[in-house]
């Protein structure tokens, strides 16, 4: 069914691209951290944590200052990225209950669009959009290879008993006790292997790393497991701060390994590399680092700190070097952007627009009225946010008062000017009413507790929820 749906809008490009794969089609490597804040990288102002490889990536390419994630928690952000739809339309809209809200047969992902254009598609890390045994799993959604975690709660374990490996598992028996094999390191090796195996054709690598997301309490009382707290062992910080910084520097080193391999293979000018984060920082992160930088808010909030993310792009000869861009882009723009670069057709009914011109450093006029986010379909308080130009509005609770901020002069969202701009508020309230397509799987205001859903056959023998009903 899905193949026929895809062919209906891709047939005209598929035959040509399969025969001429990599003839003008760039490789695409999309690296995404988990819970990394806007201010956690040196190139975005971080003073304490060392990120030399990512900083170099920014120096060799373009750094965006107004890039947005798909949402303020993991599942919807990934769903927006994969489907090109914002949070009011995308299939998976919140973390609770994500098990019955996986991607379905009729949903179309970036990987499916690129695969039909002749790309080999591989992924590592945290998927969140379909567990083993469901049609939502990565290898049923366009990926030729997937290694890591399909199940979102399983991804809280950095020393797991197994990792998902395509349609099967890599067993790591006893790992949760011995702490011999750090999942992040295993996933990096698979990412490098995929690049080597795919070097002679166009490829898409989605590296959805889990660091520096907090881990399972059973593995480490600090909840930030890492093999070593080097190079911060001698810092006068508490252990949580040392581990958090070490996780980011560990990630930075592996980003460096990926970039170095691409360069060594002679693929630098043929490969678009993007580095970003899935949303803002966890509220429990050490205050020392000021992870949200100049922004207000954090994960699970729709203020800028919860949804504005670092976003770096490099492709020598295509993306200008040492370029700073203030163009407004969002995760749901990635599908049409990658489709344009690949010479493919994205689905017509998506919210994203191609930002390929912005990546080239050209003047870019966004052809859209607004950007939209929401959070709390499955909680008692439903939050919405809209951005129009420099205006950013938020509403907490259905029928709640709208807050309005002018981001051009109030990046920290500290001055609510709603009372002075009634016409803007009215316009945004109308968008908030119409930007959401109702979903029976995400009934706004319904609180989904734990209980029977966690006892489903999907979870038996796999992993127990660590913090139900408040999913992370």
Q: Where are the domains of the chain?
A: 2-369, 372-445
Q: What is the pLDDT of residues 52-94, one digit of tens each?
A: 999 999 999 999 999 999 999 999 999 999 999 999 999 998 8
Give the pLDDT of residue 380: 67
Cα 232 from Cα 235, distance rounded (Å): 5
Could you give the 3-state DSSP secondary structure of residue 384? strand
Mean pLDDT of 263-281: 98
Mean pLDDT of 383-387: 97
Mean pLDDT of 152-166: 95
Mean pLDDT of 321-329: 96
Give the pLDDT of residue 455: 30
Q: What is the pLDDT of residues 119-140, one digit of tens each?
A: 999 999 999 999 998 999 999 9
DSSP assignment of 283-322 = TTS-GGG-TTTT----TT--SHHHHEEEEEEE-TTTSPTT
| Closest CA relative to residue 305, chosen from 251, 236, 242, 373 | 373
Cα 54 from Cα 57, distance rounded (Å): 5
Give the pLDDT of residue 1: 53
Domains 2-369 and 372-445 agree in fold = no
List the beta strands (DSSP E) in 103-227. Answer: 120-126, 145-149, 162-165, 168-171, 203-208
Give the pLDDT of residue 456: 33
Considering only the top CATH level, what class is 372-445? alpha beta
* pLDDT of 181 over the 80 cut: yes
* pLDDT of 470 over the 50 cut: no
What is the overall mean pLDDT for the chain? 89
Name the packing angle between helices 183-198 and 239-264 (round to 10°).
Answer: 10
Which pair of structure tokens corresponds to residue 119?
Answer: 């790309």
∠ CA 151-156-159, nearest 5°, is: 105
How many Å is the maximal CA-CA distance in the chain?
62
Contact 354, 337 (CB under 8 A): yes
Q: Which helix (H) or strand (E) holds 325?
A: strand 323-330
% of residues, the chain, pLDDT over 70: 87
Q: Which helix (H) or strand (E) holds 187?
A: helix 183-198
- Superfamily, domain 2-369: Alkaline Phosphatase, subunit A (3.40.720.10)
Cα 313 from Cα 325, distance rounded (Å): 11
Mean pLDDT of 401-412: 97
Give the pLDDT of residue 462: 35
Q: What is the pTM of this model?
A: 0.91
């Amino acid at each position: 069914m899905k193949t026929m749906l895809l062919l209906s809008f891709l047939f005209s490009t598929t035959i040509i691209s399969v025969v001429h794969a990599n003839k003008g089609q760039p490789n695409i490597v999309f690296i995404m951290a988990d819970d990394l804040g806007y201010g956690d990288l040196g190139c975005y102002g971080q003073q304490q944590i060392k990120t030399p490889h990512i900083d170099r990536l920014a120096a060799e390419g373009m750094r965006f200052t107004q890039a947005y994630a798909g949402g303020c928690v993991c599942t919807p952000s990934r769903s927006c990225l994969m489907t090109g739809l914002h949070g009011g339309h995308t299939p998976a809209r919140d973390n609770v209950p994500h098990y019955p809200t996986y991607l379905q047969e009729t949903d179309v992902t970036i990987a499916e669009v690129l695969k039909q254009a002749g790309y080999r598609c591989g992924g590592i890390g945290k998927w969140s959009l379909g567990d083993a045994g469901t049609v939502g799993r990565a290898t049923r959604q366009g990926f030729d290879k997937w290694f890591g975690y399909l199940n979102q709660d399983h991804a809280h374990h950095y020393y797991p008993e197994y990792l998902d490996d395509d349609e099967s598992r890599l067993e790591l028996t006893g790992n949760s006790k011995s702490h011999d094999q750090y999942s992040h390191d295993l996933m990096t090796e698979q990412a490098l292997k995929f690049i080597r195996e795919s070097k002679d054709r166009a490829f898409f690598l989605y590296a959805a790393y889990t660091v520096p997301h907090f881990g399972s309490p059973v593995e480490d009382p600090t909840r930030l497991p890492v093999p070593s707290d080097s190079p911060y062992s001698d810092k006068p910080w508490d252990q949580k701060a040392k581990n958090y910084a070490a996780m980011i520097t560990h990630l930075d080193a592996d980003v460096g390994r990926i970039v170095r391999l691409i360069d060594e293979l002679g693929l630098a000018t043929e490969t678009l590399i993007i580095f970003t984060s899935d949303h803002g920082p966890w509220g429990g992160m050490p205050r020392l680092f000021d992870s949200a930088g100049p922004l207000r808010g954090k994960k699970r909030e729709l203020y800028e700190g919860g949804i504005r993310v670092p976003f770096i792009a490099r492709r020598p000869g295509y993306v200008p070097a040492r370029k700073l861009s203030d163009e407004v882009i969002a995760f749901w723009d990635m599908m049409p952007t990658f489709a344009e670069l690949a010479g493919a057709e994205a689905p017509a009914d998506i919210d994203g627009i191609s930002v390929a011109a912005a990546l080239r450093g050209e003047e870019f006029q966004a052809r859209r009225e607004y950007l939209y986010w929401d959070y709390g379909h499955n909680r008692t308080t439903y939050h919405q946010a809209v951005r129009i130009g420099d205006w950013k509005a938020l509403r907490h609770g259905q029928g709640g008062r709208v807050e309005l901020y002018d981001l051009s002069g109030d990046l920290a969202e500290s001055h609510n000017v709603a009372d002075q701009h009634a016409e803007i508020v009215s316009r945004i309230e109308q968008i908030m009413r119409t930007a959401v397509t109702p979903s029976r799987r995400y009934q706004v205001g319904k609180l989904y507790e734990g209980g029977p859903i966690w006892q489903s056959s999907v979870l038996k023998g796999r992993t127990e929820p660590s913090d139900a009903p408040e999913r992370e």
